Chain A
Amino acid sequence: MSALPRAADLGLIGCHVCRLVCRQPPEGADDMACPRCGSALHRRKPATYARTWALLLAAFMMYLPANFLPIMRTASLNDVDDNTILSGVKELWINGSADLAIIVFVASILVPMLKFLVLGTLLISSHMRTDWAQVQRARLYRLVEFIGYWSMLDVFVVALLSALVRFNVLSRVEPLPGVIFFGLTVVLTMLASMSFDPRLIWDSRDSDD
Chain B
Amino acid sequence: MSTTSLEALQICEECDTVHRRRAMTRGEVGKCACCGATLEHYHSLNPNTMLALVLTAFIVFVQANLWPIVTLGLNGRHSSTTLWGAIITMWQSNAQVISVLAAATLFFFPLVKMLSIGWLLWFARQRRCAPGFVPIMVTLHYIGPWTMSEVFVLGALVAIVKAKVYFDVVADPGIYAYAVLTVLITIFARVDMRELWNMRMKDEG
Contact = CB atoms under 8 A, between A and B. Distances in A.
Interface of A: 1, 4-8, 10-14, 16-23, 36-39, 88, 91-92, 95-97, 100, 103-104, 134-135, 138-139, 141-142, 145, 148-150, 152-167, 170-171, 174-175, 179-180, 183-184, 187, 190, 194, 198-199, 201-202
A37 B70 contact: no
A72 to B, nearest CB: 10
| Among B80, B94, B97, residue most surrounded by chain A Cβ atoms (within 10 Å) | B97
B13 interface: yes
Given A21-B9, A97-B161, A199 B138 contact: no
B24 interface: no
Interface string B92-110: 0111011101100110000
Nearest to B82: A163
A7 B137 CA distance: 24
Given A39-B138, A157-B159, A167-B79, 9 more contacts: A4-B33, A5-B17, A36-B197, A96-B164, A100-B158, A139-B36, A155-B98, A160-B159, A171-B166
A201 B13 CA distance: 12
B75 interface: yes
Given A12-B9, A100-B157, A180-B95, A17 B141 contact: yes
A202 B16 contact: yes
A161 B159 contact: yes
Contacts of B6: 12, 21-23
Contacts of B77: 167, 170
Interface string B18-35: 100000000000000111
B152 A156 contact: yes
Interface in B36-95: 36-37, 69-70, 72, 74-75, 77, 79-81, 85-90, 93-95
Interface of B: 1, 6-7, 9-11, 13-18, 33-37, 69-70, 72, 74-75, 77, 79-81, 85-90, 93-95, 97-99, 101-102, 105-106, 134, 137-138, 141, 145-146, 148, 151-152, 154-159, 161-167, 194, 197, 201
A201 B15 CA distance: 7
Contacts of B164: 96
Contacts of A165: 72, 79, 163, 167
A170 B157 CA distance: 24
Contact of B163 (A16, A135, A164, A174): A164
A92 B158 contact: yes
17 contacts: A5-B17, A18-B197, A20-B197, A21-B6, A38-B134, A91-B162, A96-B161, A97-B161, A135-B36, A139-B36, A149-B146, A159-B95, A159-B155, A160-B69, A164-B72, A198-B14, A202-B15
A147 B77 CA distance: 39
Contacts of B79: 164-167
Contact of A179 (B72, B98, B141, B197): B98
A166 B167 CA distance: 12
A13 B75 CA distance: 66
Contacts of B99: 159
Nearest to B102: A159
A12 B105 CA distance: 35
